[in-house]
Structure formats: structure tokens, C-alpha cells
Structure 1
């Protein structure tokens, strides 16, 4: 766990010791680049990490079989983007290096997309700190396909806020190729203030969703229903993660008028509907906490939006620093609690990589 704590401390250290002079900016640029590379290596070079590791190994093993074609891989794995990536790696890269190449590719895209979203805010160091404990350390390392889909969705949000809905939709389609649940976020364009033929876009989206269901999802939908609903699987810790989402949602509604002054129009509109949906999540926990837990992962950006924009409401630097410290300590406490008490933390501790099997 010490490795995760050290990495978590770095963004806050950059924030504290950040300097405005020329040499300070140059040093900060290089150090931040090294930090970015560190995160990419953390995600890309993991080995036997997370509860789904063997599933990913099996996918790659099937893709490596000499008599298997791309059509067979797409039939086995309905997330066609990830399936195609495994197929290319298995056919053109020798041995386990192919699996490593898949992980590295996903790690680079995952971290790049998240940092692009975090850099949208002035307090980008705080934004990264909010993403580190669960999104990067837990989801990024343990659940590769959905992690990539979430990060691409966050990248798409940057275009969404800027009113570039077609770019948002393009990014979202790519995200859905790696995890089909991402397509459920397409109707969010209805909350965008950009001038476009929304009725036409909605019709196209409905047709696309029907097509995606028939081609990619229908055969696996029964399995998902049995897994999440019929068996009434319980996702331990789901309530804690939902509560952590509800806190910024309540903060947003309490200071709704203030947020409207510091947010972009599309950013405010999306956050408002996201927060409303978050407040409703507990109503569905009795049906399937696992399904709600998985869907709630797409609401993680709300934490970044609300907390980073909340700092803009303060008029003094002392208040900003105090709130930054409180937020940092809060998410740091969540990191410690999760790795200390979660029944599944064994899949993340110790951190293992291809070269050194046990670190910290």
C-alpha cells in the first residue's frame, strides 16, 4: 500500500512547492511529465493485478490461437475494440509481450484522457488527487475495459463542455467499443446548449443503440441480467462509494447559484442532471448493488467538477488552500480505508509488475 500512498502524495507536493518564476515552471513541467509517465507505467506494466486479470489473460490466449480469426474473437468478446486490440497484439507480437503491449496501450490512453480532463480545471493537481484513490488505483489497475471507457468519457466531457457535441459522440462511440455501457451516456447531448438538430441526433442515437444492442449486446444481456439482477449480487462497499458521490451532489445543490457563476453553461447543465441522478442511486440499491456500483463509476467526474469549481467560490487564498487540504486528506483517508478494509484489496496489494513481482 505504501507505493499507492507515495504516488498519491506527489500531486499535493507539486501543488505546495509550485513556483511562478521561469525556472520553477520549467522544473514543474518536467516533474509533471515524469509523474505522468509513472502513472502510465503503473497501469501498463501491472502483472497479475485485480480480480479480472485471469479473464484478460484468457481473452488474449484465445486470440493467440493459430486457427482463430478476427470474426471468432469478436463473437467471443462483445467489446469489439478490446477484442480487436487483443487480436492485433496476439498476431503481430510474440508471446507475453503481446499482453504487455495491450496493457501499455490501454494505460497510456487511460492516463492521457484523465489528465486531459483534469487539466480543464485550474486546480488540476487537486483534480488528479481526486481521481487517484479509486479511479486510477482501483479501476485503472483492476478493471481495464471499463477504466478505458470511463477515461474516454471524461475526455469527451471536455468537448461536451465546449459545445462540440459531435466530437463528444465520436469519443463516446470509441469508448463503447471497449465497454458497451458507455453508449448509455449518448443521450447526455440533450443537456448541451450547443446549436444543433437535437431531434435528428436523438433519432440517430436511438437507431445506433438498437443496432449496437442487436449486434453486440443481445447475446450477452441474459448473462448480465443473471449476474447482476437474478442472483442479487451484492457489491460490498457500494454504499460507501455512493455516499462519497452524494456529498458533492449535495454541495452542488446547496451552492447552486454560486456554481452557476463560475461554471460554463454546458458544464453547469450536465452537472445539475448528474447530481440529480446521483441522489436517486440509493433507490436502486435494493435491486442490484453491483449494477448500481458499476454504473456509478461514470459519475466519478462529478467529484472533480464540484470540488474543483467549489474552490473558485472562495475569495481568499487561505480559504482555497484550506479546502484543498481538507479535500486531499478526505480522499487520502478513503484510499487508506479501502486498501486496509476492502475484502478485495488482496488483488491490488502488493503491486506486481513484469520485472519485480513484489513491491512495497
Structure 2
């Protein structure tokens, strides 16, 4: 492999996660210890990287030369949380790297709260690593923070707390306005869920997605993240995995899930339909579709991590292993062939330079 030495850090980290997931099957106490070790380790790995991630220079410029100079000006911006955080850290006199640490903290706080609702939090965490953790809080820190808030919103969705769900989404929007699309889930927090309403929600969401794709923020994202045909193909594969996950849930897992886990069935089913619907965004932009797909990966990881607890006859072991195999394949291909990965992630460095 041409990048073998440069990617060893990432492969080593991922191998350690897979080993932890395997060892965690031995017992609940060990799984609990491994979970906390992995959670803290991932936070340090992500939050205290140095000159790693495609957005490193862009956010460094924002930090050193912010477009706002007062908190009132920050509140007037579309993403007030991001700019307010920059002003706060600058007032505290801390270096730029702490912006990455704080946003990583927001991401992992939300991920942790949602993970603790899972039957196997450790497996959930491991399944989030190859795509979500590497691509979001390590390279797109504003959306990474927003995904943390989205995980908190998912937890409120499970608890049927409508006001709390809406509040978390709105707070997430102060870091990345794309999360506002998920206000479309709000009617289902306490309302009845059925296929007809899901279809209506998906149709109503599409105009909003199109309008958001025309905004200045989407334009910046497109110029920043579109790179090569290979990268566009990567987005297609990531969205395809989401779509297949949604289909697999609806066709194979939904009936048993509804009987055994009624509390979070509605979220899983809503997420599955959204995973299928997001494929339509490929007709608009692979970049925009990819960006919204990341919000659904925590639900995808929830589905994957729940497979061992569902009735799949003699196929359970195969379908338990399949998500790990598919994500590992995507991870290896991406790290070896992607120009984006080569430019943004290697070599990995830790600390403050």
C-alpha cells in the first residue's frame, strides 16, 4: 500500500477499536471499562490533533481574524454559537487548538448521551469511527458540534419531549444551519408515525434542502469540499450504505424491533426512511447529500449495533459482522485512494506543535 506508514496511526486506532468491540463481548463490566477508555481516547485523538483536517487553516483564520468583534455582533450572525465560542476563547487568551477541543467535546458529549441509550454503547461508538468521527469533528468542526446536538435531540425524540427536541436542534443550528432540516422530525416526536406521514415529511423537506443548497453557506461548502470525481464517488458510496441500511431495517429488522424495543422504534424507522430519502439528494449535489447524510449516521450505528439482539434466524452472525466488514472496506479504500485523505489527514500529529 503506497501510504502504509502514513496511515498506520489511523489503522492502529481502528484496529484497537475493533479489538475492544470483540473483547467487550466477554462481559458487561469489561465492556463498560472499555467504553470509557475508548470515549476519552477518541476525544483526545480528535480534539488535540495538530494541523490535521481540511478545515484547519480556514478555522485558524476565523479564529485569528474573526468577522465579528463583539458578542452582540455574534448573536446577529446565522451561526452565533460558533462565533460566540471563538470570541469567548479569544477573551480567555487560549490558543486556537482549544476551539477544536471544545467542538470535539460537544460532539462526543452528544454521542455519549445517545450511546448510553444503546444496548451495546461500545459497539455503537466503534461503528461511528470510520466515517462519522473521522470526517466530522476532525475536519468539519461546526457540523461536528451540530451533530453532537443532533444526538441530544435524538435522545429527546426517544423520550417524546417535543420542546427539548426542538431546543437541541435550534442550538445545533447556531453552529451549522443545515441541522434545521431535522425540524421536519418534530411532528413525529409525539404524533402518530406511519408510512404516509413519513412520505409527506420527506416531500416537504426536499424544497427546504434545495433552498439551503442555494444559500451562501452551501456555496462555501461546495467550493471547499468538492475536489475530484473520486471524492464525489465517495459521497455516492456513503449515501448508498445509508440507503441500504434503511432498506435492510424496513425489510428485515422492523417487525422484531417494534416488538422488542418499542421505545426507540419510531426513531429507527424515521431514520431508515430518511436514509432512503437522502439518496434523492444525489440529483441535486453529492456534497449536499453527503453533508445531510452525516446527521443520520448515529441512527445507522444504532441499527447496526442492535442487530445481535434481533431475531434473524441462522443469519444473525453474518448480519452482525457485515456492518463492520462494509465500514472497514470503505475506510481502507478511502484512506488508500482518496486525495482528500492524503491532503488533510496525514501525517497525524498530536498536541500543540
> TM-score of the superposition, structure 1-length normalised?
0.79
* Aligned mate of 2:47, from 40, 44, 47: 44
* Aligned mate of 1:33, from 22, 36, 41: 36
- Name the structure 2 match of 1:203: none
- Name the structure 1 match of 2:62: 59
Change (3 A) 1:350 1:221: same
- Answering whether residue 19 of structure 2 is matched by residue 13 of structure 1, we say yes
- Answering whether residue 250 of structure 2 is matched by residue 278 of structure 1, we say no
Change (3 A) 1:315 1:304: same
Secondary structure (helix, strand or coil) at the match of 2:339 reads coil
Please show how residues 256-271 of structure 1 align to structure 2 within 5 Å.
Answer: 256-265=254-263, 267-271=264-268
Secondary structure (helix, strand or coil) at the match of 1:68 reads coil
- Answering whether residue 293 of structure 2 is matched by residue 296 of structure 1, we say yes
Please show how residues 1-360 of structure 1 align to structure 2 within 5 Å.
Answer: 1-18=7-24, 25=29, 29-63=32-66, 68-73=69-74, 78-93=78-93, 97-193=94-190, 222-224=215-217, 226=219, 236=232, 237-255=234-252, 256-265=254-263, 267-314=264-311, 322-346=318-342, 347-355=344-352
Deviates more, 1:77-86 or 1:300-309: 300-309
- Taking the aligned partners of 1:91 and 1:228, their CA distance within structure 2 comes to 28
- Taking the aligned partners of 1:47 and 1:173, their CA distance within structure 2 comes to 30
Structure 2 unaligned segments of length 5 or more: list them: 1-6, 193-210
- Taking the aligned partners of 2:64 and 2:110, their CA distance within structure 1 comes to 28
CA deviation map 1:14-57 (0-9, x unaligned): 33334777xx82x6544433322211111111122221111101
Q: CA deviation at 1:241?
A: 0.6
Structure 1 unaligned segments of length 5 or more: list them: 196-216
CA deviation map 1:272-319 (0-9, x unaligned): 333233323333313222111111211212312322233221378x96
- Taking the aligned partners of 1:171 and 1:137, their CA distance within structure 2 comes to 23
Q: Which has the larger radius of gyration?
A: 1
CA deviation map 1:143-198 (0-9, x unaligned): 00001101210122112112122222222221111111112212312112369xxx
Deviates more, 1:252-261 or 1:334-343: 252-261
- Taking the aligned partners of 2:273 and 2:34, their CA distance within structure 1 comes to 39
Question: Is the Cα–Cα contact under 8 Å of residues 165 and 189 in structure 1 kept in the other structure?
Answer: yes
Q: CA deviation at 1:128?
A: 1.2
- Taking the aligned partners of 1:275 and 1:261, their CA distance within structure 2 comes to 17
- Name the structure 2 match of 1:207: none
RMSD over aligned Cα, in angstroms?
3.2
> TM-score of the superposition, structure 2-length normalised?
0.80
- Taking the aligned partners of 1:79 and 1:238, their CA distance within structure 2 comes to 25
- Name the structure 2 match of 1:208: none
Secondary structure (helix, strand or coil) at the match of 1:17 reads helix
- Matched positions, count: 323
